[in-house]
């Protein structure tokens, strides 16, 4: 039986999913227009990322790639030195709110970047909006921020959580089978994945035979969840897990004998370069959709991978790509404002920023306040001794439909 989620979620229910404490935040005395020192002195940038818990490596990749980009431009933006002030959000909306207030009200940063979890972003949305604090989000894909809960002060350089699942729903129905069971962690990003996949899968003639919601951030004992997937009578599984949870899920899928038996599809984060070494051959053959792959062969990606390996001592992953492009967007934004960090000037400057990214053509879309970018269908294969996401097809340029969305 198909389980349907409403196409849009209200701002209230979104905030509840995020932890529900946003209402407790008060207005800081600082005026948005003069935060961060105006047009002279160092530019302080507040970095809110998880450096602990299941998304710690995501935070590390984003940070290292941003630092790499800034180092390459002499750690200066529009002639002003850059100062990154980093804070660990864990995966905890309450902790993230305290850290955001500290960055804005004590450190007086010019703007915030980072944020990996949709729950954390949802919890901070009103703080950014009410206090005119610009957030250039480098991961969290919460659809609501491009729809009902949209605010001029939150832009994304990453993706929305509609993109990968919606692309996979169509691809899976056309290429694998017509009966799917979905497995997601029980928080906002999981719900976005359920909705996106369900809508395009059903539109392509598929049927959802079950939706499994697992405890977030830690799944706990995976056995009952694997048994449910095995017994669902599905042709395929669609899953969304990332970081430590992706290792848990893919390893358990293999241990229960499902790998290679019941086709596994996912949003590509689940089999990214940060987790593939730990998953090993258990990940082989997993099909995914994402806005980047290590193997993309273009001049920007080849340079990025080489530079990141030299800088960080490990292979790049999609989160590093997002950190790198975030720094590029910040660079371009402050060129356009000539180093002025008045919030309304920065917001105006973001509209339409475009460049050739390692992911392919990148353009900030004014409607969704997120990138227009290509999606790729991918397959985990062994390439020259390493597991990589080979590209099955380029699914073309994609932009979040915003409030017009059917998923």
Q: Which residues of the shown chain bind ligand PHB in the complex (CB under 6 A)?
A: 116-118, 139-142, 161, 189, 242, 269
Residue 1 exposed, middle or buried by CB count within 10 Å (0-12, 13-18, 19+) = exposed
Min dist CB 385 to ligand PHB, Å, is 26
Assigned token pair, 125 = 């949305």
Question: Could you tell me if 201 and 175 are in contact, meaning their C-beta atoms sit under 8 angstroms apart?
Answer: no
Of 140 and 180, CB closest to ligand PHB: 140
- Given the complex with ligand PHB, which of 7 and 256 has the nearer CB atom? 7
Among candidates 167, 174, 170, 128, which has minimal Cα distance to 151?
A: 128
Pick the closer one to ligand PHB by CB: 92 or 341. Answer: 92
Quote the radius of gyration of the chain (alpha carbons, Å). 20
Q: 299-312 and 318-336 helices cross at what angle (nearest 10)? A: 110
CA 402 – CA 148 distance, rounded (Å): 9
* Shortest Å distance, C-beta 116 to ligand PHB: 5
What CA–CA distance (Å, rounded) separates 91 from 280? 26
- In this structure, the number of other CB atoms found within 10 A of the CB of residue 250 comes to 26
What is the closest distance, in whole angstroms, from the C-beta atom of residue 319 to ligand PHB in the complex? 7
Distance separating alpha carbons of residues 274 and 268, to the nearest angstrom: 11
Task: Compute the least distance from the CB of residue 57 to ligand PHB, in Å.
Answer: 10
Which CB, 82 or 271, lies closer to ligand PHB? 271
Residue 27 CB, nearest approach to ligand PHB (Å)? 27
Task: Please state the closest distance from residue 227 (CB atom) to ligand PHB, in A.
Answer: 26
Cβ pair 268, 289 in contact under 8 A? yes
Closer to ligand PHB at the Cβ: 115 or 234?
115
Q: Which is nearer to ligand PHB, 109 or 116 (CB)?
A: 116
CB of 314 to ligand PHB, least distance (A): 18
Q: How many residues does the chain have?
A: 407
Nearer to ligand PHB, 49 or 189 (CB): 189
Q: Using alpha carbons, select from 133, 161, 158, 157 the residue that is nearest to residue 147.
A: 161
* Cross-strand pairs, 102: none
Question: Where are any strands of DSSP class E within 215-306?
Answer: 236-239, 264-267, 287-290
Name the residue among 346, 355, 340, 358 with its Cα closest to residue 302.
358
| Minimum CB–partner distance for residue 141 and ligand PHB (Å) | 4
CB of 24 to ligand PHB, least distance (A): 22
- For ligand PHB, give the closer residue by CB, 122 or 358: 122
Compare residues 70 and 166 and give the one whose CB is closer to ligand PHB: 166
Sign of the Cα pseudo-torsion (58, 60, 62, 68, in order)? negative
> In terms of Cα–Cα distance, which of 93, 87, 85, 103 is closest to 125?
93
Two tokens, residue 178: 């017509």
DSSP state of 226: H
């Amino acid at each position: 039986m198909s389980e349907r989620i409403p196409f849009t979620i209200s701002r209230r229910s979104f905030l509840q999913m995020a932890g529900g404490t946003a209402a407790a935040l008060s207005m800081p005395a600082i005026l948005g227009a003069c935060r961060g020192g105006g047009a002279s002195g160092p530019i302080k940038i507040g970095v809110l990322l998880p450096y602990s818990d299941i998304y710690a490596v995501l935070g590390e990749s984003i940070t290292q790639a941003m630092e790499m980009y800034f180092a390459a431009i002499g750690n200066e933006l529009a002639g002003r030195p850059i100062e990154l002030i980093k804070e660990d959000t864990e995966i905890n909306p309450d902790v993230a709110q305290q850290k955001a207030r500290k960055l804005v009200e004590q450190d007086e940063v010019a703007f915030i970047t980072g944020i990996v979890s949709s729950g954390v972003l949802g919890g901070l949305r009103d703080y950014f909006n009410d206090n005119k604090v610009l957030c250039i989000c480098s991961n969290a894909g919460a659809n609501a921020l491009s729809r009902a809960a949209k605010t001029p002060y939150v832009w994304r350089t990453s993706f929305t959580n509609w993109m990968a699942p919606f692309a996979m729903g169509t691809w899976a129905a056309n290429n694998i089978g017509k009966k799917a069971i979905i497995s997601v962690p029980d928080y906002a990003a999981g719900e976005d994945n359920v909705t996106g996949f369900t809508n395009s899968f059903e539109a392509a003639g598929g049927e959802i035979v079950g939706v499994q919601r697992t405890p977030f951030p830690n799944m706990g004992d995976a056995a009952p969840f694997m048994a449910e997937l095995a017994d669902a009578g599905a042709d395929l599984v669609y899953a969304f897990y990332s970081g430590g949870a992706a290792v848990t899920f893919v390893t358990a899928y293999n241990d229960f004998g499902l790998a290679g038996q019941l086709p596994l599809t996912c949003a590509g984060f689940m089999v990214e370069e940060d987790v593939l070494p730990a998953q090993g051959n258990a990940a082989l053959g997993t099909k995914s959709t994402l806005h980047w792959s290590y193997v993309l062969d273009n001049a920007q990606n080849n340079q990025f991978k080489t530079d990141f390996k030299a800088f960080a001592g490990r292979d790049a992953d999609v989160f590093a790509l997002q950190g790198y492009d975030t720094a590029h967007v910040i660079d371009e934004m402050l060129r356009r404002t000539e180093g002025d960090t008045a919030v309304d000037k920065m917001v105006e400057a973001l509209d339409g920023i475009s460049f050739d990214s390692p992911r392919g053509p990148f353009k900030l879309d004014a409607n969704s306040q997120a990138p227009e970018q290509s999606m790729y269908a991918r397959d985990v294969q062994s390439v020259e001794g390493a597991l990589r996401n080979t590209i099955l097809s380029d699914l073309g340029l994609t932009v979040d439909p915003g409030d017009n969305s059917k998923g």
